[in-house]
Structure 1
Amino acid sequence: MTDPTRPADVAASARRWPLIPTLLVLAAVAVMIALGVWQLQRKADKEALIALYQRNMAMSSLVSYPELPPVGDRFLYRKSSVVCLEPVRWDQRSGTDREGRSGIRMIADCRTGAEGPGVLVDVGIGDDFAPPKWMGGTVQGTIVPGPEQPTVIARMTGKAIPARAMLIADTPVAGLRASGVPSADDTPNNHLAYAVQWFLFAAAALVIYILAVRRRLRP
């Protein structure tokens, strides 16, 4: 015998608020909100770091060059001096001089002792890839992050190799133009935009889910 209440029960069950999907959506929204809050915290940390870099740029006293990575933030954008006994390798990269003209940066990997890591020195901007006829010497300049920096994925996976610093020479070697020195103000700080994006994603996911469930519960 057919139960006459069965269809009504099925319809009512179908119109109940779905518990498990709701919990999954709320969990996803909570994760997105947490990521947004984390980006706001990173924004504050990055602002403090930029302020430190700006103070470093204002100092005229020399600091000892940090030969061993990782390089502490207190060294970046400070003035320093190194003795390059011999350039053992040249790394040519695109760059600009202090007047904004493009060219090829001449980065020397210098030997500073019998053993151990050397130092990277940007000795100037050339018009072609031919390295300068420079055999080394004392170089004074500004400490900046080296050209080889770990990627975000490498940092997240714990496989990042500590980045080396680099010294941009105040006075270029003969035949080259002085390389442009990065500013602390060029340090990217996009964390506010990332935070807003995560909050918008969370709000959009919640609104879309609520509309979908209301449509399902509509008799």
Structure 2
Amino acid sequence: MTTPRRFPVFATIIVLAAAMTMVGLGVWQLGRKTEKEALIARYEAAISNADPVAYPVTATEAEVAAVLYRRSAVDCKFTVGEWRSISGRSRDGRSGFVHIIACGTTTATTETDETAYVQAGWSRDPSPPKWKGGPVSGWIVPNSEGFARLVADPPVAGFEASAAPDPGDLPNNHLAYAGQWFFFALTALVIYVLALRRRRG
């Protein structure tokens, strides 16, 4: 007489807990999708606001986020370090390079030199012209490590205009991530059910 195999309670709890965790992560990604859509809508409203704000030379990441995609201006007293030339597009959609430089600038609230990052403009040539500084106005956009960058509009002398910043370009792939987590949860449950059937057989 064949002894019936015991139902694997512990393994079932582990699999169900894992599946519930994956579902929870999927739900969290759906929440992140809603948050990102609200953020993009806020930035789209900001970029249409013509009133300038102070460039955040000394600001926290949250303070930088509060002024992204607003108009601003800096007086680039002198350039600092080397130019960074990366692939980018012109205002009319041509491929080429945008050129970024750190500027020493004095704010209205301090008498010390602070650093402002300026995207001076676009060119086909990866080698930037020898611009030494001056007044720059444009849009504040995200830069690396929580800093801001000013996309010059109009471009500085020697450059053409870079493509205008578009908040819609911000990545919002949370729906895809949510779908992946839900799929992983379903796959884990299906595989476990098949394993249970084989075990009983």
Q: TM-score, normalised on structure 2? A: 0.90
Residues 56-205 of structure 1 aligned to structure 2 (within 5 Å): 56-68=46-58, 69-70=60-61, 71-89=63-81, 90-113=83-106, 115=112, 117-146=114-143, 148=144, 162-205=145-188
Query: What is the total number of aligned residue pairs between the two structures?
Result: 194
By how many angstroms is 1:22 displaced? 0.9
Letter in 2 for 1:78: R
Letter in 1 for 2:192: Y
1:28 aligns with 2:27: no
Identity %: 48
**Partners of 2:124 and 2:45 in 1: CA distance:** 34
* 1:25-50 alpha-carbon deviations (Å, 9 max, x no partner): 11110110111111011111111111
Q: Which 5+ residue runs of structure 2 have no aligned equivalent?
A: none
More strand, by proportion? 2
* 1:122-164 alpha-carbon deviations (Å, 9 max, x no partner): 1111232333222211111011111x3xxxxxxxxxxxxx421
**Partners of 2:15 and 2:113 in 1: CA distance:** 54
Contact 2:43 2:69 in 1 (8 A): yes
Q: Which 5+ residue runs of structure 1 have no aligned equivalent?
A: 1-6, 149-161
Tell me the C-alpha RMSD between the 2 structures.
Answer: 1.6
Q: TM-score, normalised on structure 1? A: 0.83
Return the index of the structure with the highest Cα Rg: 1
Deviates more, 1:181-190 or 1:57-66: 181-190
* 1:160-192 alpha-carbon deviations (Å, 9 max, x no partner): xx4211001111222211111220111111111
**Partners of 1:41 and 1:127 in 2: CA distance:** 41
By how many angstroms is 1:99 displaced? 0.8
